[in-house]
Amino acid sequence: MATTADIKNGLCIQHNHAPYQIIEFLHVKPGKGNAFVRTKMRNLNDGRVLEHTFPSGTKLDVVRMEYRNYQYMYNDVDGYNFMNMETYEQITLQKSVINAPQFIKDGMECIILWHADEDRPVSCEIPGTVVLEITYTEPGMKGNTATNTLKPATVETGAEIRVPLFMEIGEKIVVNTADGTYKERAK
């Protein structure tokens, strides 16, 4: 058992008969009244986000979770297939449990969150940034770096993002997977 004093980002708790992972939290001590903890939690079964306020000192049921390294192999009609980097065991995950499936590419190492008590995968996190090659975009113009104007581009995974006007087909870029934005040219 834990209390609201033990809340931190990434903590997994049992709430309303489902496992939730804390995404954000804020301890609030108003001038008048009792302290409380305002949280934003993601349901690990269906991915929905819930905002909930716990009174200070509330007891919480902590769920044991494990992080395991897997490598993405391919996807088919059943889902996305991953291989454990240590045991070579293969599993299939549905698109809904992967945080940014549009940016996943063959051979990418991902971290899969496992429910330790039930021995089942719950969610899959791909790296925060990925290097992808631009497969299609309108022709760029040399010297067009003074403005922050963006144009659409398709990357090798099929996802469409916005890139600066000077980018060309075949260039490798770094993409932020959290919000799907262009970060920089790959070095």
CA angle 131, 135, 140 (to 5 degrees): 100
N- to C-terminal Cα separation, the chain: 47
CATH number of the CATH domain containing 158: 2.40.50.140
**How many domains does the chain divide into?**
3
CATH number of the CATH domain containing 11: 2.30.30.30
CA distance 48 to 148: 34
Local mean pLDDT, 10-residue blocks, the chain (187 residues): 87 89 91 91 85 91 90 90 91 87 91 87 89 88 70 91 88 90 87
Domain boundary, last residue among 83, 100, 125:
125
Query: Nearest to residue 186, comparing CAs of 73, 178, 125, 170?
Result: 170
What is the predicted pLDDT for the residue at 145?
Answer: 63
In a shared domain, residues 114 and 149? no
In a shared domain, residues 6 and 57? yes
Question: Domain residues for 8?
Answer: 2-62
Query: By the 8 A CB rule, do 62 and 13 touch?
Result: yes
What is the predicted pLDDT for the residue at 143?
Answer: 64
Judged by DSSP in three states, 37 sits in strand
